[in-house]
Chain A
Amino acid sequence: MALTLQQVIFLALAVVVIGAALFVVTTRNLFRAALMLVLSFFAVAGFYVLLDAGLFAVAQILIYIGAISILIIFSVMLTRGMQAMIPRNSQAFWSAVVVAIIFAMLLLLLGPLRTTVNVAAWPIIGSIFPNATPRELGAVPWAYAVEPATGLPAVVPETYIATFGFSLVDINQYVLPFLLVALLVDIALSGAVHIARQRRPIEVIQERQDIAAEDAAEAEAIRNAQQPAPVPAPALPEGAVAAATSAANEH
């Protein structure tokens, strides 16, 4: 079977994506990991082009490569000394096992994606659930969008970007999530500025003193609460009681 040009491009992109991603999660050098992450983002943008979503390929390059990668690279540079690191923690082996199991399950679930598949003939899942229907295994009764005349995949309408843009501001579609996401970005960015702000040492000292004072006050309150209530003295002259009360108030 001769490969079409698009298939060749897809396979090349897939090799780049998977290879770069594996490099990202295994390398010792954090800076190289960040650069390989950029390569992986580029290849994902290539997938979007293959899927006729050019808008998202551009957005991928602008947002992921232009913004997120730069943020990551800056953070790598700002945390010097952490670059050459031990790449794996103690649970790396079991993480790999768990991830491999999850991947195998995802691949097996590709089988009954369509409701028409014969479950009994499907490997492993078919032998575990020979009598299950595809719907019981999570199959979704979707249908591929096809051109009725030819049976080929439906073409993306020319106006898909306009349709997408209108859906974001259409009161019957996604205007509420759109506004919430806008609010989320707003809060996230101002929060990020606040968290990462370099405070002057005097402010830090002041803050620590405030916290220490609060802690001391809290401990004092707890100690007072734990003390047994003072037993009222049976017979004291009038003046002594008044003096004791005023002394306690002053304290």
Chain B
Amino acid sequence: MDLFANALNGIPLWWFLVVSAALFCIGLYGVMARKNAIAMLMGVELMLNAVNINLIAFWRFIAPNSPSGLAFAAFVFVIAAAEAAIGLALIISVYRSNQSIDPEKLDQMKL
């Protein structure tokens, strides 16, 4: 099959894609099913990691001479750092005022 062709030291592209899809789905489950805001942020970090594996795998297999894949991966890194900083600051602020970070209990902004 086509996907099995062109393996890098024996590792074809689709192996990376399968692992990254699994990691993305696990992260998505963490975001949807956790009862703690910090645990949800951990799920988001897992999803961002999956995206980065995909970007760098495609860069390596399809366009190793172009910097595009690396540039996008670097932007994902930076945005992940910003997201973690803002998210955790919000969580700590919410914890101070509510003594809880269960997202289901945060309903002060409901009308």
Using CB atoms and an 8 Å cutoff, list the residues of chain A in contact with chain B: 3-7, 10, 14, 17-18, 21-22, 24-25, 30, 33-34, 37, 40-41, 44, 47-48, 50-53, 55-56, 59-60, 63-64, 67-68, 71-72, 74-76, 78-79, 81-82, 85-89, 91-92, 95-96, 98-100, 102-103, 106-107, 110-111, 113-114, 116-117, 142-146, 153-157, 160, 163-164, 166-168, 173-174, 177, 181, 184-185, 188-189, 191-193, 195-196, 198
**Are A167's CB and B67's CB within 8 A?**
yes
Partner of A56, one of B9, B43, B70, B104: B70
B96: nearest chain-A partner, CB-CB? A198
Q: Which of A63, A98, A144 contacts B32 (CB 8 A)?
A: A98
**B109: CB under 8 A from chain A?**
no
Q: Is the pair A173, B71 in contact by a Cβ cutoff of 8 Å?
A: yes
Known: A24-B42, A91-B32, A154-B64. A185 touches B78 (CB 8 A): yes
Q: A105: shortest Cβ distance to chain B, in Å?
A: 9
Chain B interface residues (CB < 8 Å from chain A): 1-3, 5-11, 13-19, 21-30, 32-36, 38-39, 41-43, 45-46, 49, 52-53, 56-57, 59-65, 67-68, 70-71, 73-75, 77-86, 88-93, 95-96, 99-102, 104
In the assembled complex, the Cα of A111 lies from the Cα of B1 at a distance in Å of: 9
Interface residue from A75, A87, A96, A110 paired with B17 (Cβ < 8 Å): A110
A156 touches B2 (CB 8 A): no
Closest to B90 in A: A195
B-side contacts of A56, CB under 8 Å: 52, 56, 70, 73-74
Contact B14 A110 (CB under 8 A): yes
Number of residue pairs spanning A and B whose beta carbons lie under 8 angstroms apart: 268
Known: A75-B92, A91-B33. A184 touches B64 (CB 8 A): no
Query: Is B60 in contact with A25, judged by CB distance below 8 angstroms?
Result: no
In the complex, what's the smallest C-beta–C-beta distance from B43 to chain A, in angstroms? 6
> CB < 8 Å: which of B8, B15, B33, B75 contacts A95?
B33
13 CB < 8 A contacts A-B: A4-B9, A18-B23, A21-B23, A25-B27, A48-B56, A56-B70, A74-B88, A75-B91, A114-B2, A143-B62, A144-B62, A146-B6, A156-B64
Pairwise interchain contact A59-B89, C-beta atoms closer than 8 A: no
Chain B neighbourhood of A17, CB < 8 A: 19, 23
Q: Note all chain A residues with C-beta closer than 8 A to B61.
A: 144-145, 153
Cα–Cα distance between A41 and B81 once the two chains are bound (Å): 14
In the bound complex, do residue B43 and residue A72 qualify as a contact, i.e. CB atoms below 8 Å apart? Answer: no
Given contacts A154-B65, A181-B79, contact A99 B28 (CB under 8 A): yes
CB-CB nearest in chain B for A113: B3
Q: Within the complex, which residue of B21, B34, B56, B90 is in contact with A53, where a contact is CB–CB below 8 Å?
A: B56
Known A-B contacts A72-B42, A164-B70; the reply to A79 vs B92 at CB < 8 A is yes
- Is B25's CB under 8 angstroms from A103's CB? yes
- CB within 8 A of A107: which of B21, B43, B63, B81? B21
Chain B residues, Cβ within 8 Å of A47: 16, 19, 53, 56-57
